[in-house]
Amino acid sequence: MSMVPELLIGVLATARLGAVHSVIFGGFSAKALSERINDCDAKIVITNDEAYRGNKIIPLKEITDEALENSPNVEAVLCLERTKGKVSMKNGRDFWLHELLEKASPQCEPEQVNSEDPLFILYTSGSTGKPKGLQHTTAGYMLWASETYKNVFQAQEDDIFWCSADIGWITGHSYIAYGPLLNGSTQVMFEGVPTWPTPARFWEIIDKYKVTHFYTAPTAIRALEACEPEFVENADLSSLKVLGSVGEPINEEAWEWYNEKVGKKKCPIVDTWWQTETGGIMISTLAGKTPVIPCHATLPLPGVAPILVDNDGNEIKGNPAEGNLCIQRPWPGMARTIYGDHDRYKQTYFSTYPGKYFTGDGAKRDNKGNYRITGRVDDVINVSGHRIGTAEVEDAINEHEAIVESAVVGVPHDIKGESLIAFIIPMPHKKSEHLLESVNTIITEHIGAIAKVEKVITVSGLPKTRSGKIMRRVLRKISHNEIDSLGDTSTLLNPEVVDEIIKIMKE
Ligand code: 7RM
């Protein structure tokens, strides 16, 4: 569904029934939707006829219909009438929500469940393989969403909270659906995009509803910073008390702009570091209670035990320090498993540094113990605050009839933070015109438009280890123009391709 009230109601209603929800972002393709439905054994799908997204219409029911061709176990589809666009309804399977509601009883006793019973499954990308369905529990997750909301944002009785995330991501789960509501907060829910109909949209909403707490992502801040200053200057933003940032490291320029133009230098900025896996915020300033340091998440929340380790897993003691960010002890909100694959859960999070939860992020710690997250140290790329696994994108590209093999890396991007570029080996004798376009068509079909690549670079070989693994590190360094620090490439299976790729990139 799009960000309509019925989405939030659907989430809470599912929990009330003691059932498990899995919200899937409306930007995913039919194939991605079907894979997730099948992986979590979903029985009922709730969707819109269509969704409005800026000036576009997204045919959600049509995408669902296509997905269900490969998801035979779904028993019912509930469809919200949103645009009144034309859709086809399958007899016995598809139901209009408004018709069901006419006959439904207004009474529904909440089902009692155990604290460790699953509340939801949410899919996220990792460095290898297919997206993982992270399973969160009823009591632990809700406790963590609720307490972190209260402590970090410090919203009071009459405050108005607005988190601009989509409920299709964990930020929307924890800081729209659960955290604020568990605390009785009043909040704004927004169905739209920041730049439509004009880039004043966010600021007008803050002005109109007298928003006091605003929580968004650096990518949105950068996109709006790049627009004419009148858009932000013409709105009355004096209601704001606290600003939040989430999803990716915030760069200094964006931080300063957010602080000056939006917060008028009077609103603490809480830079909140956390993950789908952690359920809620782990490292952050507590608004008005602990110090703000530009671009720093600062200190762990009570009960959170971060630790930095080197690549061999040794703890880096003392300050300042830099290393791989791990968490030493469990916390109530942590995901309990990857649905259907507990071994993968252990392998992904607890095997790199035995006995510790590995976040996949790198971090620095200053003299006073404040953390600054530097970004992913694995093959996950953060595009506009969305986690994209290189393996997933490569799998899609490799389906291209004119491509033998591919490797995807992230490169810095002014607005998105990072964008994707693909190195590809073309199939001999196949015509490969309009490669960028056709590669992006395949990616859009397999995953969704959020995973599109910015560039396709044709090479004759990809740097590989002797065991056949693609050395994305080498490609990353070349595309970041860090050729001097490539490290030893002589142990590669095919060191000669490195020079070739450097030459192509220079051209
Ligand atoms: C909440 C969310 C998680 C990844 C995480 C980081 C990055 C998130 C920050 C951040 C620097 C932050 N969940 N990340 N917050 N990096 N500073 N304040 O985004 O599962 O979708 O992504 O996002 O790399 O591992 S997520």
Average pLDDT value for the chain: 95
The token pair at 180 is 């604020």
pLDDT at 484: 87
Neighbours of 405 (CB within 10 A): 17
Residue 15 pLDDT > 90, yes or no?
yes
Determine the atom of ligand 1 nearest the C-alpha atom of 375: 24
Q: Is 255 in the pocket of ligand 1 (CB under 6 A)?
A: no
* 261-279 pLDDT, tens digit each: 999 999 999 999 999 999 9
Q: Is 217 in the pocket of ligand 1 (CB under 6 A)?
A: no
Q: Is 248 in the pocket of ligand 1 (CB under 6 A)?
A: yes
Residue 42 pLDDT > 80, yes or no?
yes
Q: 322 C-alpha vs ligand 1 centroid, how far in Å?
A: 18
Q: 61 C-alpha vs ligand 1 centroid, how far in Å?
A: 31
Q: Is 272 in the pocket of ligand 1 (CB under 6 A)?
A: yes
Tell me the best of 272, 274, 325, 376 to mutate to test the pocket of ligand 1, counting ligand atoms within 8 Å of each CB and taking the most: 274
* 377-396 pLDDT, tens digit each: 988 999 998 999 998 999 99
Residue 242 pLDDT > 80, yes or no?
yes
Q: Is 247 in the pocket of ligand 1 (CB under 6 A)?
A: yes
Residue 467 pLDDT > 90, yes or no?
no
Residue 249 pLDDT > 80, yes or no?
yes
* 163-195 pLDDT, tens digit each: 999 999 999 999 999 999 999 999 999 999 999
Q: 248 C-alpha vs ligand 1 centroid, how far in Å?
A: 5
* 89-104 pLDDT, tens digit each: 999 999 999 999 999 9
Q: 276 C-alpha vs ligand 1 centroid, how far in Å?
A: 8
Q: 275 C-alpha vs ligand 1 centroid, how far in Å?
A: 5
* 110-151 pLDDT, tens digit each: 999 999 999 999 999 988 888 999 999 999 999 999 999 999
Determine the atom of ligand 1 nearest the C-alpha atom of 174: 1
Q: 280 C-alpha vs ligand 1 centroid, how far in Å?
A: 11
Note whether 258 and 269 are within 8 A (CB): yes
Residue 362 pLDDT > 90, yes or no?
yes
How far apart (Å, rounded) are the C-alpha atoms in residues 22 and 74? Answer: 14
CA angle 99–39–355, rounded 5-degree value: 130
Confidence of residue 61 (pLDDT cuts 50, 70, 90): very high
* pTM higher than the cut 0.85: yes
How far apart (Å, rounded) are the C-alpha atoms in residues 269 and 401? Answer: 48
Confidence of residue 202 (pLDDT cuts 50, 70, 90): very high
Q: 359 C-alpha vs ligand 1 centroid, how far in Å?
A: 10
Q: Is 361 in the pocket of ligand 1 (CB under 6 A)?
A: yes
Residue 243 pLDDT > 90, yes or no?
yes
Residue range 206-216: mean pLDDT, rounded: 98
Q: 382 C-alpha vs ligand 1 centroid, how far in Å?
A: 8
Residue range 342-356: mean pLDDT, rounded: 97
- 88 SS3 class: coil
The token pair at 423 is 């190195």
Residue 207 pLDDT > 90, yes or no?
yes
Supply the residue whose CA is at minimum distance from atom 10 of ligand 1.
Answer: 248
- CB burial of 341-362 (b: ≥16 within 10 Å; e: otherwise) equals beebbeebbeebbeebbbbbbb
Q: 247 C-alpha vs ligand 1 centroid, how far in Å?
A: 4
Q: 373 C-alpha vs ligand 1 centroid, how far in Å?
A: 9
pLDDT at 130: 87
Note whether 93 and 67 are within 8 A (CB): no
Determine the atom of ligand 1 nearest the C-alpha atom of 273: 18
Residue 436 pLDDT > 90, yes or no?
yes
Confidence of residue 407 (pLDDT cuts 50, 70, 90): very high
CA 392 distance to own-chain centroid: 15
Confidence of residue 354 (pLDDT cuts 50, 70, 90): very high
For residue 153, which of 84, 79, 218, 242 has the smallest C-alpha distance?
242
For residue 201, which of 187, 186, 188 has the smallest C-alpha distance?
188
How far apart (Å, rounded) are the C-alpha atoms in residues 420 and 442? Answer: 15
Written as one string, the DSSP assignment of 393-460 is HHHHHTTSTTEEEEEEEEEEETTTEEEEEEEEEEPTTS---SHHHHHHHHHHHHTBGGG--SEEEE-S
Determine the atom of ligand 1 nearest the C-alpha atom of 374: 11
What's the full length of the chain, in residues? Answer: 507
pLDDT at 186: 98
Supply the residue whose CA is at minimum distance from atom 13 of ligand 1.
Answer: 275
Confidence of residue 486 (pLDDT cuts 50, 70, 90): confident
Q: Is 276 in the pocket of ligand 1 (CB under 6 A)?
A: yes
Confidence of residue 256 (pLDDT cuts 50, 70, 90): very high
Q: Is 296 in the pocket of ligand 1 (CB under 6 A)?
A: no
Residue range 322-345: mean pLDDT, rounded: 98
Residue 223 pLDDT > 80, yes or no?
yes
Q: Is 137 in the pocket of ligand 1 (CB under 6 A)?
A: no
